[in-house]
Amino acid sequence: MTEIDEREQGKVFQPRFDAAGLITAVAVDSRTREILMLAHMNAQALAMTRETGLAHFYSRSRQRLWLKGESSGNVLRVEEIRVDCDQDALVLLVQPDGPACHTGARSCFYRVVGADGLAPIAD
Amino acid sequence: MTEIDEREQGKVFQPRFDAAGLITAVAVDSRTREILMLAHMNAQALAMTRETGLAHFYSRSRQRLWLKGESSGNVLRVEEIRVDCDQDALVLLVQPDGPACHTGARSCFYRVVGADGLAPIAD
């Protein structure tokens, strides 16, 4: 197998962190399939997530590891982690304890981009 | 409204491109809600997507704009664009013309991360 075949078809998990040491992770409600949030993980956040079953991320603005829900209590219980073809993005299938967004919304994606600006999503 | 309130609750679309001029976009099948792929857009890719209704991205490795499906024919027809709370990530609700992944898989996320490595997803 070539290196690319191995990465795309192999059984070895070799997450590709970017130049800043981060990989993008998308959290999805495992029951409703709603996309809840998008955030970044460094190697430690990924390891902590796998170890504890609770989603951990790395905050680029605060430059530190955080447990999602550490202050709000709204943790994300990770049931499954999926990786994409070139292993530079993750999907987390989660069971959310409460709203995933810090605004109190169920999902961070609560607005639609329209021709005249943003509007609340219909569903 | 403060600047943060305006960004989080306002009606003005003000996408936050990162230092490299990119914003992350997640393409989701509008019918099945399956996450198909994750990629990046620069301002031009976003404008072309909104103009044509077909998903355009910016390839970091090839350093150029690309129409998803330009060679395979497997375009993504964009029905809705959603933006997250701090406007640095997008969700595209799409109708895919064929497999979204260049490997031929329906979604790029075809493997689960397990304790012993990667395995095909169950569904």
The percentage of chain B sitting over the pLDDT mark of 90, rounded to a whole number, equals 94
Write out pLDDT tens, residues B63-107: 999 999 999 999 999 999 999 999 999 999 999 999 999 999 999
Q: Which of A13, A24, A79 to mutate to test the interface with B (most CBs of B within 10 A)?
A: A13
State residue A96's pLDDT score.
98
- Interface confidence: ipTM more than 0.85: yes
Q: Which tokens sit at A76? A: 């994300």
Q: Which of B12, B24, B35, B86 to mutate to test the interface with A (most CBs of A within 10 A)?
A: B35
Closest partner residue to B113 among A37, A83, A113, by Cβ?
Answer: A83
Burial of residue A31 (CB within 10 Å: 0-12, 13-18, 19+) is exposed
Tell me which chain A residues have a C-beta less than 8 angstroms from the C-beta of B119. Answer: 11
Q: Indicate whether B19 pLDDT > 80.
A: yes
What SS3 state is found at B38? strand
pLDDT at A123: 66
Q: Nearest chain B Cα to A89, which residue?
A: B38
The pTM for the full model equals 0.96
Residue B54 DSSP class: B
pLDDT (tens digit per residue) in A64-109:
999 999 999 999 999 999 999 999 999 999 999 999 999 999 999 9
CB–CB contact B13 A102 (8 Å): no
Q: Write out the E strands in A7-123.
A: 23-29, 35-41, 56-59, 64-67, 76-83, 89-96, 111-114, 117-120
pLDDT for residue B1: 76
Find how far residue B7's CA is from the centre of its chain: 21
